[in-house]
Chain A
Amino acid sequence: MTVALKAETVGQKVAQAFPTAIITADKEAIIVPPDSLFQVAHFLKNTPEFDFDYLTSLTAVDYLDYFEVIYHLTSLRYDHSLVLKTRCYERERPTVPSVVSLWQGADLQEREVYDLMGIIFPGHPNLKRIFLWEGFPGHPLRRDYL
């Protein structure tokens, strides 16, 4: 039975490891700012206690005030899971570091988020539109599209 780790407990441990980053946790997820996302993801993947070796799903939601990128992480060894989120308040060029170098499974999913939501992932090896063609105006999954 996959156990969802308590976000508050994990959040405290992450905050201890990264004292300068502003890390918050609610009931479901830990939320980190985009500029420390990669370090936190690296920490969660490589700390033996967590061992999040499997990125289940990566997606984004447009809340108009900000974009939220959601990572569902799973550890196949311990059979536990965690939701990691980051919020991006920039609308013109929202930027979130790519996690492809940690989990290759993010490759096509980050391209999809870029294509449909317009979030840029620096560090992605091949950040191109995936479903729509180059030159398509706008990013249709944004709530203010049309």
Chain B
Amino acid sequence: MPLKTEPIVLNIGPQHPSSHGLFRLRLTLDGEVVTDLELVLGYLHRGIEKLAEGRTYAQNIPLTDRLDYLASMTNNFAYVLAVEKLAGIKVPERAEYLRVIMAELMRLTSHLAFIGFLLNELGAYFTPLFYMFRDREKILDLFEMVCGQRLTYNYMRLGGVSHDIPEEFIPAVKRLLNEMPRFTDEYEQLISGNEILLARTKGVGILSRDKAINASASGPVLRASGVKWDIRKVDPYSVYDRLDFEVPVGSVGDVYDRYWVRVQEMRQSVRILKQAIEQLPKGEIRSEVPHLLRPPQSEAYGRIEAPKGELGFYLVSDNSIAPYRFHIRPPALINLTALRDMVIGWKLADAVVIFGSLDTVLGEVDR
């Protein structure tokens, strides 16, 4: 005689090590299998979009640092790009290269943190994370060298960047770039062929190609599902059109592909950095921009390929010193759209891994 079972509702979070911040997953379980999922968001909502309407364009740069706090440089980048599009500001070539260098270093740190936390969720508690943080530390040292900060950089400026790089920066980056491929090989040796990792990630949480497109997934999540779509290639901004790199694409769209795509992206970032350092021209690092910028009455949508996906800023100007509307297109929030479809039918332990494979940062989800 079959046993009578009842579904139970389980809350993961808001305080939970696998929730990457304050976030609640409301799971309905049939035994160990997930039958429904609801996202409960807003624990970190600071109203950044509203705050920005009361600050000048330049004052809003530090606010963007607080979105995806594991990739502050790229947030700065997307915002200044949108304002420059809105106001028609030209950026000196050296500043463009510096921005690309910082953005790619940031991508390395963000993906390193992703791999570490994913392994955490698979039960390899903190040892892999400290391997990753060993290397992330070196990149944070580089950022500290440039702008004195290690988490919220506030480095980009309208029309350029805040500081030129110090003398010791380029040799330090070169050292890092020489070491990085060896580190990446080391992780791949330890992780990519690991039987436990393969068993837990291959074929788990599949996001089909059509579903990924329909759910507006972006970044590594979209590419893992087999869509070759990278803003750096399809809509090149800054100087990305002068740099040579590949766009790695997954085949199945499972957790393993999302991991694999990011590891390959790290290799490509090293490739981009080598070229950017080589091509870095001399000259100005910032163009003259009025302190109280008044862009003409218009609107602009600026977007970049952030480590988590397409980060866009939709700005509306009414010719005053503050934006009339400041909207952020957050990749982390929109990538969560398809989570429910990915998780249903999998066990509770897999749900945690699938969520981890989206690389969600709650600062950006809640804003």
Contacts and interface: CB of A to CB of B under 8 A. Distances in A.
Contact of B42 (A28, A105, A131): A131
A56 B216 contact: yes
A55 interface: yes
Contacts of A8: none
A37 B299 CA distance: 21
Interface stretch (B100-108, B333-341, B349-357): B333-341
B14 to A, nearest CB: 13
Contact of B45 (A28, A79, A131): A131
Interface residues of A, number: 32
Interface in A62-111: 62, 70, 72, 76, 79, 83, 103-109
Given A28-B299, A53-B213, A53-B214, A130 B42 contact: yes
A108 B334 contact: yes
Contact of B314 (A55, A70, A130): A70
Interface in B308-352: 310, 312, 314, 316, 324-325, 327, 329, 333-334, 336-338
Given A2-B234, A56-B312, A131-B41, A105 B325 contact: no
A61 B316 contact: yes
B141 interface: no
A61 B329 contact: no
Contacts of A28: 299
| Size class of the contact patch on chain B | 35 or more
A57 interface: yes
Q: DSSP majority for the B interface?
A: mixed
Contacts, number: 81
Most chain B beta-carbon contacts within 10 A, residue among A1, A56, A62: A56
A1 B235 contact: yes
Contact of A76 (B213, B299, B312, B334): B213
Interface string B77-108: 00000000000000000000000000000000
Contacts of A54: 213, 216
A131 B234 contact: no
Nearest to A126: B38
A57 B314 contact: yes
B242 interface: no
Contacts of A59: 314, 327, 329
Contacts of B293: none
B41 A61 contact: no
Nearest to A72: B301
Given A103-B216, A133-B42, A141 B337 contact: no
B49 interface: yes
Contacts of A76: 213, 227, 229
Given A28-B299, A104-B216, A56 B310 contact: yes
Contacts of B338: 104
B324 A2 contact: no
B305 interface: no
Nearest to A116: B49
7 closest A-B pairs (Cβ-Cβ)? A105-B216, A131-B42, A2-B235, A131-B45, A57-B329, A104-B215, A59-B327
Given A1-B234, A104-B215, A105-B217, 4 more contacts: A2-B234, A104-B214, A104-B216, A129-B42
